[in-house]
Amino acid sequence: MRPLTTQWVANAVGGELVADVTARVTSVVKDSRDAFEDALYVAFVGERVDGHDYAPQAFAAGASLALVSQPVPGPHVLVDDVTAALGRLAAAYLALLRAEGEIRVIGITGSNGKTTTKDVLAQVLPDAVAPQGSFNNEIGLPLTVLRADRSTRHLVLEMGASAPGDLAYLTRIAPLDIAVVLTVGSAHLGGYGSPEALAEEKATLLDGLLPGGVALLNADDARVAAMAERPVLAEGGRRTVTFGTAGSADVHAGALDLDRGRATFTVEAAGASADVSLTLVGEHHVTNALAATAVALECGLDLESASALVGAARPLSAHRMALTERADGVWILDDSYNASPESMAAALRALKNVATTGRSFAVVGEMREMGASSRAGHEKVGLDVVRLRIDHLLAVGEGARPVYVSAVREGSWGDEAAHVATIDEARAYLDERLTRGDTVLIKASHGSGLWRLADEMLGVDA
């Protein structure tokens, strides 16, 4: 982070400064345990914890300032709403970086694939700053912006949305040079009511483009492709570039093949072509790879270099299609960070492609934030398991029971399908059955807690 004076911070957020104006800020943290010298500690009030109570610990660790909504002992900036103030700080800071140097801002949204595409770009673009994990909301995005500095050439932002207006708010904080829309699926559908309303929300990302900005749209998703016709708000206009497996896309893939779940293909753009071999597991990552390639080309990389870097990119964020072989020869395919009907179907296909040496086990938990479509979405997962001929299904938790019921109705009975209530029961079920060569997919929304099972099975410390 570029050093800031405490007075500059107070001016940017429009707050009351109660501090030594000669101090400076060189980082921003929301956890007092992460504070160090010259940090700005942001005190959020959560459901269980009031961050104001931990301001003394932050100051003891070296923090020079706190952003608060109530007075605390020590230097602070007092505001009415800490979250809104953090957004104003990030917006002002990004404007400062633009005035002082060259920085290109890339925003990525979509029902699926945001985090993977962001992680790939973090490894492809030179001098890039990207979110750690899935910092994609009104708190995580400003914190990512505030990690950039004068040397940052590419700021890659994951932009999530769970209610109307979310993306408009995020792009007001960080106006975009490049807007990437991946998919419109069922994730967070409960906050919108219909796929059409969700598509409209995703399309507002294009409204956040700066004059002359570029919209990168997935030609394989009809709702995304239709966004090319959205009226242009910026006076300087915008360009549209498409990516996908369709030959009509500006950046497209051909000659697609899979080897134990990893895709190889040829990417073509502007009359040139290059071969790509992904380290990422799952055919669905071809879309993410093409999106990352399209961004790289817009940022000045040639197709050969971009393809090589995209192919070599590894998963960076935990619990996202990570394939690991344990010492006992059992393979764990951990995709337990999040889930929607579309990503669940993609993960099941990946399991089928990966499980070439033994039996396949699909361990699935609840998909959350789906609203009225929840039961139908879970029932479809059960159908997919049977129709893909996955050897064993284990549904975990009450929210995932419809998956089990649907699979049994479709034809999985006996020991082919089971339902358990808890993670401990799931662990016992698997420990009793798994043998060398078997592959286990673990997939659910993060809030279901099934990621803990993945950590346990891989021996990851909590």
The number of distinct structural domains making up the chain is: 3
Specify the range with the lowest mean pLDDT, choosing from 38-52, 151-165, 179-193, 273-287: 179-193
Those residues with Cβ within 8 angstroms of residue 47's Cβ, 6 or more apart along the chain or in another chain: none
Q: What is the C-alpha to C-alpha distance for residues 350 and 258, in angstroms, rounded to an integer?
A: 10
What does the pLDDT look like over 68-87, one tens digit per residue? 999 999 999 999 999 999 99
What does the pLDDT look like over 263-298, one tens digit per residue? 999 999 999 999 999 999 999 999 999 999 999 999
Model confidence at 195, pLDDT cuts 50, 70, 90, reads confident
Q: What is the C-alpha to C-alpha distance for residues 120 and 183, in angstroms, rounded to an integer?
A: 17
pTM over 0.85: yes
Any domain includes 89: no
Q: Tell me, what CATH number does 36's domain have?
A: 3.40.1390.10
- Contact between 169 and 195 under an 8 Å Cβ cutoff? The reply is no
Q: What is the C-alpha to C-alpha distance for residues 189 and 376, in angstroms, rounded to an integer?
A: 13
Kindly write down the DSSP assignment for every residue of 231-245, as one continuous string: PP-STT-EEEEEEES
From 81, 112, 144, the end of a domain falls on 81
Q: Tell me, what CATH number does 428's domain have?
A: 3.90.190.20
Indicate whether 254 and 391 sit together in one domain. no
Indicate whether 251 and 377 sit together in one domain. no
Helix, strand, coil tally for the chain in percent (to 5): 40, 25, 35
Q: What is the C-alpha to C-alpha distance for residues 436 and 441, in angstroms, rounded to an integer?
A: 15
Any domain includes 93: no
From 258, 288, 312, the end of a domain falls on 312
Any domain includes 338: yes
From 262, 281, 312, the end of a domain falls on 312
